[in-house]
Amino acid sequence: MTQRRDFIKKSLIGGTGLAIGGIGFSAKSYASIIGSNDRINVAVIGIKGRGVSHINAWCDLKNSHNVRLKTLCDVDEQFFDPRAKTVLEKTGIKPLTEWDMRKVLEDKEIDAVSFATPNHWHALGTIWACQAGKHVYVEKPSSHNIWEGRKMIEASRKYNVRVQVGFQNRSIPNVMEAMKFLHDGGIGEVNIARGLCIKPRDSFGIAKDSTPPSTLHYNRWLGPAPYRAYNEKRGHYNWHWFWDTGNGDTGNQGPHQFDVARWGLNKNEHPVSIFSSGGIYGIDPSECAQETPNTQISIAKYQDGKILEFETRGRYSNSEAGLGIKVGNIFYGNDGYLEIDGDTWKAYRKQEKEPFAGSKAASNEVASLTGSSNTEHFVNFLDAIKSGKHETLHCDIREGHYSSAVPFLANISYRLGRELKFMGDYEKFANDLEADTMLSRVYRHPYIVPTEV
């Protein structure tokens, strides 16, 4: 069944030697297999926000895993000095800094890159890196839309490089234990998975278009997105709340819990139907530029009738379940239910009030996904590079694509205001050309995700 669902990948026949984004160097998988004792040279692309966790992780692994953080790259040069200082203090080595990722990819000493850019750059950056023979760690969601995710899978396979998606839960021991418990029938057959993203966010306001800061290479920041005049409210972090660059909180924090939900359901496929509804509540639209909903309920159904339910609640709210979950998951089975909050889980049998199974004490290393380097997932990426095997990855790009696709489908349903039927084998909607146009996007020259990677 899995082979049939992945028939799209079988068109990945081709050689090397393609020009990468028109920048004039050939693809060589010189980094595809690295000896167990060799140093791995890494570059971080996108060094604000989540990029700080990437920097900390690679620095923390310098001695234990022979990692050198060689280069920091960001289109906003204001972050170069403070981030380079961090690396120097942690490792004793001052990294190079570069605003143009293409120059980073030209460096044949770089074995791997980790992307913490805005979502709209994930796919093109990853594909360029694959073509350059670099292994890739890319943040969630794996891409900005479903079509891009498929192209990323093709690029990983064609150039034989490892691509790990930053779904860190996949490498947290207690979460892995909870998934095994579910898959082994701990609460019977699991029928419904519920994901929660309860993150109250206040208005970030509104501003007039203006001139970009002198430190920002704004045209490159836009990249594949349509051209818009610079606006400070659409930039750092706020890019999440605009469709051209982000995917709202359903596609921001949400993918982590969509991934755990799909994992718990043991679904290695796309849903067959999706419905999502919501809106912007509690914020005056005339006083905030946000486009994406802050409140959204999504329901995905699989071929066998099992349901993945997800709620994005961006206003003031209570938590849910016995663990007081605000960002987490609940699974409902024939014989009970299971709650996961961070790396803590508890299982309840039928109507009993006390858990009959649960996690060990929480690890001190596992903090919030944004406040910790979570080195386990980065270590797994390094191990996969050295093994030379995609299957060694805890969240290979194919796995990340399936989990990212569900919130993408939910957002399409939300924007169109109706339930959608999806044909997962073809990654197309059933007799719905309007919805099909939203599986990809119109790219801005020359930042075009290629049909043939």
- If pLDDT is split at 50, 70 and 90, which confidence band does 360 have? confident
Question: Is 243 within 8 Å of 291 (Cβ atoms)?
Answer: yes
- If pLDDT is split at 50, 70 and 90, which confidence band does 362 have? low
Question: Is 328 within 8 Å of 342 (Cβ atoms)?
Answer: yes
Q: Which helix (H) or strand (E) holds 195?
A: strand 190-198
Closest among 97, 95, 170 to 140, alpha carbons compared: 170
What is the mean predicted confidence (pLDDT) over 341-354? 97
pTM > 0.85: yes
The secondary structure of 405-452, three-state, reads HHHHHHHHHHHHCCCEEEECCCCEECCCHHHHHHHCCCCCCCCCCCCC
Of residues 197 and 372, more confidently modeled: 197
pLDDT beyond 60 at 282: yes
Read off the amino acid at residue 138.
V
Sign of CA dihedral 52, 53, 54, 55: positive
- If pLDDT is split at 50, 70 and 90, which confidence band does 37 have? low
pLDDT beyond 70 at 364: no
Q: What pLDDT digit, counting tens, does each position of 311-332 carry? A: 999 999 999 999 999 999 999 9
Read off the amino acid at residue 427.
E
Question: Is 250 within 8 Å of 298 (Cβ atoms)?
Answer: yes
Say what the pLDDT of residue 27 is: 41
- Strand 40-45: give its sheet, edge to edge: 96-98, 67-73, 40-45, 112-115, 135-138, 163-165
Q: Is the peptide bond before 226 cis (omega within 30 degrees of 0)?
A: no
Q: What pLDDT digit, counting tens, does each position of 76-92 carry? A: 999 999 999 999 999 99
Quote the mean pLDDT of the chain: 91
Percent of the chain topping pLDDT 90: 88
| Nearest-10 Cα torsion for 219, 228, 199, 76 | 20
What is the mean predicted confidence (pLDDT) over 1-24? 38
Q: Which domains does the chain have, with CATH numbers?
A: 2-170+373-397 (3.40.50.720), 172-363+403-431 (3.30.360.10)
Two structure tokens written together for 182: 């579910």
Q: What pLDDT digit, counting tens, does each position of 157-194 carry? A: 999 999 999 999 999 999 999 999 999 999 999 999 99
